Amino acid sequence: MALYDLIIIGAGPAGITAAIYAARQKLKTLVISKDVGGQVALTADIENWIGYQFITGSELTKKFDEHIEAYKDTIGLELGTEIIGIGRKNSNFLAKTKSGTYESRVVIIASGKKPRPLNVPGEQEFKGKGLTYCAVCDAPLFPRKDVAVIGGGNSALEAALQLTKIANKVYLINKNPAMKGEKAIIDKVEKNPKVEKVYNSITKEILGDKFVNAVRVEQNGKERRINVQGVFVEIGLIPNTDFVDLAGKNKYNEIIVNSSTETNVPGLFAAGDVADVPEKQIVVAAAEGCKAALAAARYLAKLK
């Protein structure tokens, strides 16, 4: 089994940035991830990424690919596989995946977050049959349809705006009395005639036959049926930390780190949305990835 200086779990903004800075430090690095881009790849429009006033998620993901390709002699990529655990072998770490086990002196966890489920009747039954968690991926499947977006934050607002370009009508179902998000995005939603805001509404059930045909909600204490052919769940994200037993976590299951991205386990670092840092933004995740790689390099220098 080859021994790496560093294994990075995840290839989103934090993981890719960490890999690039690790390569510049001449660390033998392996990146393990299901894909490249993370949440960026699932985002339609990105505004104010440094150097770009506007860029799409797919375009930025392509830039990530191109950047890491420039360091292919130093960075190993194990894509399309899922991490299932991190263990110890003496003072080293073992990263266990469904396809194999890899050993390294240090590890950076940058596994990001995944969509939070509704946990209501019909969700599992109609997943992939009209119910989805990714507007970027699946919006083109609903041309001239009536659809519902469940949520009230930035991700829900962005999904609703994207769907207005394709769907006939968009119901924005929000359990709160108002939207929560960036003012600029809220203003765009408010001005779009295709969006109907359904406030104070708790989603109770996803209905359908072979495919989704309605959502049952409780609005202001009264039951309401909203006929739609598609449902987009955008109620937030949960950390991808099910495989992490070594490091301490907070009540949200985010990995607890200090200002240098160090966990409570020497040699184990965490960066990006998976960590308990405030402000879940792409630029913040990238910065934390940079910090993690530099901290890992310092840690390795002390070992040597």
- The residues annotated as belonging to the active site are 134, 137-138
Is 262:109 a contact under the CB 8 Å cutoff?
Answer: no
Q: What's the alpha-carbon Rg for the chain, to the nearest Å?
A: 21
Q: DSSP letters of 216-239?
A: EEEETTEEEEEE-SEEEE-S-EEE
Identify which of 132, 169, 168, 126 has the alpha carbon closest to the alpha carbon of residue 150.
132
Element (H, E) at 66: helix 57-69
DSSP bridge partners of 173: 150, 198
Phi, psi (deg, nearest 5) at residue 148: -120, 135
Identify which of 83, 106, 58 has the alpha carbon closest to the alpha carbon of residue 301.
106
The whole-angstrom separation of Cα 294 and Cα 21 is 7
**The two structure tokens encoding residue 175:** 């359990």
Residue type, 41: A
Q: What is the DSSP letter of 300?
A: H
Q: What is the DSSP letter of 112?
A: -
Phi, psi (deg, nearest 5) at residue 69: -65, -30
Element (H, E) at 187: helix 183-191
How would you classify the pairing of strands 75-79 and 29-33?
Answer: parallel
Phi, psi (deg, nearest 5) at residue 157: -65, -45
